Amino acid sequence: MSLMEPTREFRITGWHVLAGMVAFFGVIIAVNAVFLTVALRSYPGEVSVTPYEDGLAYNSRLAQQAAQKKLGWRAAATVEDGAVLVEIADRQGAPVTELKLSGHLQRPATEAGRIEMAFSEVSPGRYRAAVPAETGAWDLWVQGHDQEGRLFEAERRLTWR
C-alpha cells in the first residue's frame, strides 16, 4: 500500500442534481407555506362581515352620498388634548349646529381596538369627543343627523404623535 493512493475525483451525477432540486424546491415550498399561514392568521381578507347585504344596500348608499353632496357640508377633524374635534360647515362656510354626532376610531388595517365616540357641541359647528387613543394612525368615521333628519357622514385619517 502506497502513501499516495489516487483519490477518486468527485463527479456530479443525476442523483446529485435531483437531490439539489428537491431540496431547493422543498425550502421554497416550506417558506411559502409559513408566509401563507402567517398572512391568513393575521388578516383573513374580509373587509365586511356582511358583504352580501352591503352589496344590496349599495344603491341606497349612493343615493345618500348624492344627497349629502347636494347639502354642500364639509367636515374638518383635528386631535388635541386627548380629544377629537370635528368642525362642520355648510356651503357658505357657516357652522352647522345642533347635530347629533357619533362616530368611531379604528386602526387602518384592522377593527381591533375600535373606539366608539359620542360628540357634544362645544361651540357652534364644533363638536368634541374625549378619546383614550394611542399614538399612530387612526381612521375616524363620523355620522350626524340634524333636526330635519338629514344625514351627514365623513371619514378622515388622524395621527397621534
Q: What is the pLDDT of residues 35-49, one digit of tens each?
A: 999 988 887 677 778
| Residue that has been written with the C-alpha cell 373606539 in this structure | 115
pLDDT at position 76 is 92
Residue 109: pLDDT over 90 = no
- 120 pLDDT tier (thresholds 50, 70, 90): very high
Is residue 140 within 8 A of residue 109, CB to CB? The reply is no
Phi, psi for residue 118 in degrees, rounded to 5:
-120, 125
Question: 3 versus 65: which is more confidently predicted?
Answer: 65
pLDDT at position 133 is 66
* CATH topology (fold) of 72-160: Immunoglobulin-like (2.60.40)
Write out the chain in H/E/C secondary structure. CCCCCCCCCCCCCHHHHHHHHHHHHHHHHHHHHHHHHHHHHHCCCCCCCCHHHHHHCHHHHHHHHHHHHHHCCEEEEEEECCEEEEEEECCCCCECCCCEEEEEEECCCCCCCCEEEECEEEECCEEEEECCCCCEEEEEEEEEECCCCCEEEEEEEEEEC
pLDDT at position 43 is 76
- Residue spans of the domains in the chain: they are 13-44, 72-160
Q: Of 157, 119, 115, 110, which is closest to residue 132 (Cα–Cα)?
A: 115
Residue 8: pLDDT over 90 = no
| Cα–Cα distance measured from residue 85 to residue 120, given in angstroms and rounded to the nearest whole number | 10
User: Whole-prediction pTM value?
Assistant: 0.65
- 1 pLDDT tier (thresholds 50, 70, 90): low
Mean pLDDT along residues 63-86: 89
HSE-up of residue 108 (Cα within 13 Å, Cβ side): 7
Question: 110 versus 56: which is more confidently predicted?
Answer: 56
Residues 123-139 have pLDDT tens digits of: 999 999 998 867 888 89
- 122 pLDDT tier (thresholds 50, 70, 90): very high
pLDDT at position 58 is 92
